[in-house]
């Protein structure tokens, strides 16, 4: 494992673990606060946000584990796309549930970034180790 692979691996695993920890915390908050939130579909919005946060946090951990075997630019792209996508997509849903107001196109942009992160992981798998 090269120094750059090790640094990327540690950063992605740490970021993913923190995202998952925050997702567990938000799940606990959501279970208690959904009934008092201003949006009528707050429980559904919060469940969706927590689910996507947890799944994509695990995606970050996966990208970090893959980086231990050789980092590619695609894992850098995946990590950035996942982090920004989680913040935008999940953040927009949390905002809508707790404020009752839309964040505009922020959630769809975040969703596109989450998709891009998985595409980048697949491109890493298809190109890693090629000369």
The percentage of residues in the chain with a pLDDT greater than 70, rounded to a whole number, is 96
Residue 131 confidence (pLDDT) above 90: no
Show the 3-state SS of the chain.
Answer: CCHHHHHHHHHHHHHHHHHHHHHHHHHHHHHHHHHHCCCCCHHHHHHHHHHHHHHHHHHHHHHHHHHCCCCCHHHHHHHHHHHHHHHHHHHHHHHHHHHCCCCCCHHHHHHHHHHHHHHHHHHHHHHCCCC
Question: 43 vs 130, which has greater pLDDT?
Answer: 43
pLDDT at site 44:
96
Instruction: Name, in order, each residue with C-beta under 8 angstroms of 59's C-beta and a sequence gap of 6 or more.
Output: 16, 78, 82, 117, 118, 121
Q: Using alpha carbons, list the distances in angstroms from residue 130 to 15, 70, 72, 111.
A: 28, 11, 11, 30
Arithmetic mean of pLDDT over the chain? 95
How many domains are contained in the chain?
1
pLDDT band at 12 (very low <50, low <70, confident <90, very high): very high
55 contacts 90 by C-beta, under 8 angstroms: no
Question: 1 vs 64, which has greater pLDDT?
Answer: 64
Q: Mean pLDDT over residues 23-52, rounded?
A: 95
pLDDT at site 1:
58
Dihedral angle at the C-alpha atoms of 25, 62, 6, 128, nearest 10 degrees?
Answer: -160
pLDDT at site 5:
77
Residue 72 confidence (pLDDT) above 70: yes
Residue 87 confidence (pLDDT) above 80: yes
Question: 5 vs 111, which has greater pLDDT?
Answer: 111
Domain that holds residue 35: 3-127
pLDDT at site 42:
96
pLDDT at site 126:
96
């Amino acid at each position: 494992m090269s120094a750059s692979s090790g640094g990327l691996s540690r950063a992605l695993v740490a970021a993913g673990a923190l995202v998952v920890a925050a997702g567990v915390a938000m799940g606990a908050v959501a279970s208690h606060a959904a009934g008092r939130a201003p949006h009528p579909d707050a429980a559904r919005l919060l469940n969706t946000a927590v689910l996507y946060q947890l799944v994509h946090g695990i995606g970050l951990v996966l990208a970090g584990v893959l980086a231990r075997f050789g980092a590619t630019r695609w894992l850098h792209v995946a990590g950035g796309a996942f982090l920004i996508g989680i913040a935008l997509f999940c953040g927009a849903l949390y905002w809508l549930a707790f404020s009752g107001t839309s964040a505009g196109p922020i959630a769809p942009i975040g969703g596109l970034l989450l998709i891009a992160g998985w595409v980048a992981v697949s491109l890493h798998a298809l190109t890693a180790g090629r000369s």
